[in-house]
Structure 1
Amino acid sequence: MNKPVICMTMGDAAGVGPEIIMKVLTDSEVYEWCHPLVVGDAKILQRAGEIVGSNMLINSIQSVNEARFEVGKVDCVDLDLLPEDLPFGEVSSKAGDAAYRYIEKAVELAKNKEIDVICTAPLNKEALQKGGHKYPGHTELLAHLTDTKEFAMFLSSPKLKVIHVTTHIGLIDAVKSIKPERVYNVIKMANDTLVKAGIKEPRIAVCGINPHAGENGLFGYGEEEEKVLPGVKKAQEEGINATDPLPADTLFFRAVRGDFDVVVAMYHDQGHGPIKVLGLESGVNITVGLPILRTSVDHGTAFDISGKGIADEASLKEAIRQGVELAPKNIQ
């Protein structure tokens, strides 16, 4: 099987993104999994390499077909946007704009089918906005650049995968905002993502909203029947292997045991809690519903330690690994 091209965007150059990229690419295992590519600034990567004690060569390129994908060489689509002496740990409009340009270039490569997955190093939201780009973060930025209206947060770890119907809103507002069409769309996105990744008939478990999934109206006000079940039934009618709403308190145990391939969580903490109990370092944030799969590290720019060479690359390595796992496969 051909290895997928995993495109890492450098993120905010004043943060730890360049350092963790240079660290992770010293690991030959990454090259066994995939063809790693960076979109960023070659001179910033060179500086980061010196900081982390790496002797890898930076292969500055303008197109993907110039990449060598060889251990010991870092293939960088070099946009050459930043000064080599950009200060560490400071909010910079230049770095914020550059972080945007790296994403923009990666999306262009994705649209041209030159890469298979985008894997994002962290950006700084304040710097991004100072650079003239008014987005809350990567997800909304990628949705805009790909003209995507319907997307979802998908958390993946070695033992558990969870997709969310709602995310960063209060619990009362989350319950209000759950609609059958959104439930259906999230189930379909989960199914499509796993089918593309090579799972022919994904087993999808759907959480209820209330304790015991409402227990036939005993708890709550019929939210499962009104808000969740119609979306589930629509998916089932299309042949998607999704369960009726199930009690979340036992559902996650069953999923970790291997009964299901993915869990549909109704709100933020319902899905995030089980993933984080299994280990903060192993969870990866993935955006699904976009034309291209996007994975991300689970930390920020860490301005307080940038430039010191001590940032841990484990989360980036896991984001790459799970990008490889979920990358679209050519299924016959």
Structure 2
Amino acid sequence: MKKIAISCGDLNGIGLEILIKAHTLIYPHITPIYCVHFELLKQASELLNLPLPENLTLSHCLPPSISPPPIKAGTITQESGQYSFESFILGCQLCEDKQAHALCTLPIHKKAWNLANIPYLGHTQALSHRYKTEAIMMLGCEEMFVALLSDHIPLAQVPSLMQSERIYDFFMRLYALYPQERYCVLGINPHCGDDGIIGKEDQEIQNAIKYANHTLQAPIFCGPYPSDCGFIPSKRQEFKTWIAMYHDVGLAPLKALYFEESINVSLGLPILRVSVDHGVAFDIAYQGKATILSYLNAIKFLTHPLFSIKT
């Protein structure tokens, strides 16, 4: 069976509840390597009144210099931020050392990382820096995947990225990593700019589509389509993969339709990393309410990939 490194995420959120709840369901299919101290699992088990499965063991531990902080449900703390980062780094190292086939990350809190002076806006940026390549963030499920040209950056910075050469390079890289027959490319301005009346950025997207299709000698990239119509039922019958220029433009429809089941995949890295497609859910932390479907789909993706992902 494949060995999967699993980072614990923020201790004060729903990560440990998901880990404990799902263990007996994933254990017959993978060998999970949990990057967390056992005493934290015991503490979470007691807070949740949820017994630990008898076959839940830890084969790797964090470095001795990393002490497990106390769980403070639903609270942003520097300690939980630092611990979740160290858990994530251990998961990366296990993959790099070939002790794990892939990494599955449970959700972290970006502010907690910030308080711990961790200079990354989440897993994807940290992975890009660690492996000196820009990871492509793609989220979704069997019915729909959305790849993002820009992810965790302020909206004000997005227009500066709308350059045909940059977009073309993104298209070609995505096609090499995740080849599909057709992609639905979303515009960025209302009505895709109405031929330049509402901004010129969509003309850059259109040029990139033209050049990419010419290179591939096929109409692989389609659009750009106005974002407000890009996910209507007819488009969802026509396409399975979308490309959004900005994080929320692509993910708002995805999460409205498939919030509990979609996953997050990092493309273009020397390791395969997937994650749940939701946050720490501090509002329900340690109340026994966390759903595990996204996590189960992430594990399923690693064991029986639904799509062709190249690393």
For 1:99, the aligned partner's letter is S
Whether the 8 Å contact between 2:12 and 2:285 is mirrored in structure 1 is yes
Which of 115, 123, 127 aligns to 1:142? It is 127
Query: 5 Å matches for 1:299-314?
Result: 299-314=278-293
Deviation at 1:174, TM superposition (A): 2.1
Which of 43, 55, 58 aligns to 2:56? It is 58
Whether the 8 Å contact between 1:184 and 1:235 is mirrored in structure 2 is no
Whether the 8 Å contact between 1:156 and 1:322 is mirrored in structure 2 is no
Query: 5 Å matches for 1:261-280?
Result: 261-280=240-259
2:111 maps to 1:126 = yes
Residues 1:135 and 1:221: Cα distance change in structure 2 (over 3 Å): closer
- Number of the residue aligned with 1:292: 271
- Number of the residue aligned with 1:112: 97
Q: What SS does the aligned partner of 2:19 have?
A: helix
Which of 146, 160, 165 aligns to 1:181? It is 165
For 2:161, the aligned partner's letter is S
Distance 2:102 2:262 in 1: 17
- Number of the residue aligned with 2:208: 230
- Number of the residue aligned with 1:47: 43
2:177 maps to 1:193 = yes
Whether the 8 Å contact between 2:102 and 2:271 is mirrored in structure 1 is yes
Whether the 8 Å contact between 2:18 and 2:290 is mirrored in structure 1 is yes
Distance 1:125 1:224 in 2: 31
Which of 157, 162, 167 aligns to 2:141? It is 157
- Number of the residue aligned with 1:321: 300
For 2:126, the aligned partner's letter is L
- Number of the residue aligned with 1:205: 184
Whether the 8 Å contact between 1:156 and 1:162 is mirrored in structure 2 is yes
Deviation at 1:163, TM superposition (A): 0.8
Distance 2:32 2:235 in 1: 31
Which of 6, 9, 14 aligns to 1:8? It is 6
- Number of the residue aligned with 1:22: 20
Distance 2:251 2:215 in 1: 29
Deviation at 1:177, TM superposition (A): 2.3
For 1:223, the aligned partner's letter is E
Deviation at 1:14, TM superposition (A): 2.9
Q: What SS does the aligned partner of 1:61 have?
A: coil
Deviation at 1:323, TM superposition (A): 4.3
Question: Mean alpha-carbon deviation: is it higher for 115-124 or for 222-231?
Answer: 222-231
**Sequence identity (%):** 28
Whether the 8 Å contact between 2:62 and 2:87 is mirrored in structure 1 is no
| Alignment deviations for residues 104-160 of structure 1 (CA, whole Å, 9 cap, x no partner) | 111112223333332211223333233342322222222222222x23321212311
Distance 2:106 2:265 in 1: 13
Whether the 8 Å contact between 2:110 and 2:122 is mirrored in structure 1 is yes
Residues 1:79 and 1:165: Cα distance change in structure 2 (over 3 Å): same
Deviation at 1:161, TM superposition (A): 0.7
Q: What SS does the aligned partner of 2:223 have?
A: coil
Distance 2:229 2:74 in 1: 44
CA RMSD of aligned residues (A): 3.2
Whether the 8 Å contact between 2:10 and 2:84 is mirrored in structure 1 is yes
| Alignment deviations for residues 216-270 of structure 1 (CA, whole Å, 9 cap, x no partner) | x37545533334423651464156762242324554345522x334211122333
Note the residue ranges of structure 2 that are not aligned, 5 or more in a row: none
| Alignment deviations for residues 160-202 of structure 1 (CA, whole Å, 9 cap, x no partner) | 111112234565642342122331233234323324xxxxx54
Deviation at 1:278, TM superposition (A): 1.2
- TM-score normalized by structure 1? 0.76
Distance 2:196 2:110 in 1: 44
- How many residues were matched structurally? 304
Whether the 8 Å contact between 2:213 and 2:221 is mirrored in structure 1 is no
Distance 2:299 2:28 in 1: 12
For 2:16, the aligned partner's letter is P
Distance 2:31 2:53 in 1: 19
Whether the 8 Å contact between 1:10 and 1:18 is mirrored in structure 2 is yes
Distance 1:297 1:35 in 2: 18
- Number of the residue aligned with 1:281: 260
Whether the 8 Å contact between 1:207 and 1:263 is mirrored in structure 2 is yes
Distance 2:157 2:307 in 1: 33
